[in-house]
Amino acid sequence: MRGLIYRGPYNVAVVDVADPVLRDEFGAVVRVSTAGICGSDLHIYEGHGFSDDTGFCLGHEAVGEVMAVGERVTNITPGMRVLVPGSVGCSLCRPCRAGRVARCHNNSNWLNSCYGLHAGLPGSQAGMVAVPHAETNLVPLPFEVSDAAGILLADNAPTAWYGARRARIAYGDTVAVIGLGPVGLMAVQSALIMGAARVLAVDLLPERRERSVELGAEPIEGDDVKAALRAATGGRGPEVAIEAVGTDATIELALKAVRLGGRVSVVGVSHNRAFPMHMQVAQVKELEFAIGLCSVQYELPTLLALTTAGRLRPEAVISHRLPLSDGAEAYKMFAAREDGVSKILLDPDR
């Protein structure tokens, strides 16, 4: 099969790689019909990856058809159209059985909690992908949900929903969403569905702010974003900030921008091992702070229902559909934020 492999910083290529095989009696092999490129793939592309491996397939967002399953797999059968969630758990422990795969008791190496981070669990920007513990890590996809929506539901939409959920958005809240990539745009939608009165949208790029306005957000402009957020909220700041970038500057903005008793929820992937938080200010402010990685499987039942009903619109964030053979150009464009890029889908058949 063909696969998009990581060779080193700013160097990816679509090449012939070995077809995946069943890992064990719990596994499955899926033929990928559509794959997505995630913002966290860019961390690897830009040389801030999670391991020193090279030569492995990237990607952790896929929709496809089941080709083969191991003999212990009972709820998934060949021929099924499935979503492959980006988060990976086992099918044995209690948290995973409840969908809380990020809390798996049997995962000794966190690099195995997502596809395409290292050679041990190759990614799905490829013709096929090997799936461990298929009972947990494959989800049958209703026919009403398109491949394109399914790709967003594999990671970005559940991550946004999880971030919004952990911020405990209450009816009538004003919510700032910081970072308007695909996760941020899904966070705008999530906050409004959860009852936010207003969503204030923060991003350096005007075209990203424009996309958020189409989804119902108010754009925040100007050099002093904290002051603009205050000015938009009668001087007090929003009740909630959802941070979907992962840099120190954007996390700090979120912490400073929220009002007294505010809630900050970070879902941007952070690499910092020593973030300085002003404890006295946080305490006086009665700040609530949440950070984590989403268990996609846990959020999916809710999001599939909202998508099927037409209330959540994952397709709205898609900007490009390209053949897998253009994968290297796609990464280059995504990294450079060119051509109004938001979400890129790849077609492995082309």
The footprint of Zn ion (CB under 5 A) covers: 38, 40, 89-90, 93, 96, 104, 106, 155
Task: Please enumerate in sequence order all residues whose Cβ is within 8 A of that of 16, keeping only pairs 6 or more positions apart, or say none.
Answer: 1, 2, 3
> How far apart are CB 61 and Zn ion at their closest, in Å?
7
* Residue among 5 and 38 whose Cβ is closer to Zn ion: 38
CA nearest to 64, candidates 95, 34, 25, 105: 34
> How far apart are CB 96 and Zn ion at their closest, in Å?
3
193 with 215: CB under 8 angstroms? no
CA nearest to 61, candidates 6, 114, 98, 121: 114
Structure tokens given for 60: 């952790």
> How far apart are CB 60 and Zn ion at their closest, in Å?
6
| Cα 181 to Cα 316: distance, rounded to the nearest angstrom | 12
Which residues face 3 on adjacent strands?
Answer: 15, 126
> How far apart are CB 39 and Zn ion at their closest, in Å?
7
* Residue among 27 and 237 whose Cβ is closer to Zn ion: 27
> How far apart are CB 89 and Zn ion at their closest, in Å?
4
The gap between the terminal CA atoms of the chain, to the nearest Å, is: 12
User: Read out DSSP for 98-138?
Assistant: TT-GGG-SS-S-GGGGBTTSSTTS--SSBSEEEESSHHHH-
> How far apart are CB 259 and Zn ion at their closest, in Å?
30
* Residue among 181 and 219 whose Cβ is closer to Zn ion: 181
* Residue among 38 and 194 whose Cβ is closer to Zn ion: 38
> How far apart are CB 257 and Zn ion at their closest, in Å?
25
* Residue among 233 and 250 whose Cβ is closer to Zn ion: 250
183 with 159: CB under 8 angstroms? yes
The 3-state DSSP class for residue 242 equals: strand
* Residue among 30 and 152 whose Cβ is closer to Zn ion: 152
* Residue among 101 and 188 whose Cβ is closer to Zn ion: 101
* Residue among 137 and 189 whose Cβ is closer to Zn ion: 137
> How far apart are CB 208 and Zn ion at their closest, in Å?
18
| Cα 225 to Cα 201: distance, rounded to the nearest angstrom | 10
| Cα 95 to Cα 102: distance, rounded to the nearest angstrom | 8
> How far apart are CB 79 and Zn ion at their closest, in Å?
27
* Residue among 89 and 238 whose Cβ is closer to Zn ion: 89
Looking only at the bridges linking them, the beta strands covering 288-291 and 263-266 are parallel
| Residues 330-334: contacts with CB under 8 Å, at least 24 apart | 330/37, 331/12, 331/37, 331/41, 331/42, 331/45, 332/10, 334/37, 334/42
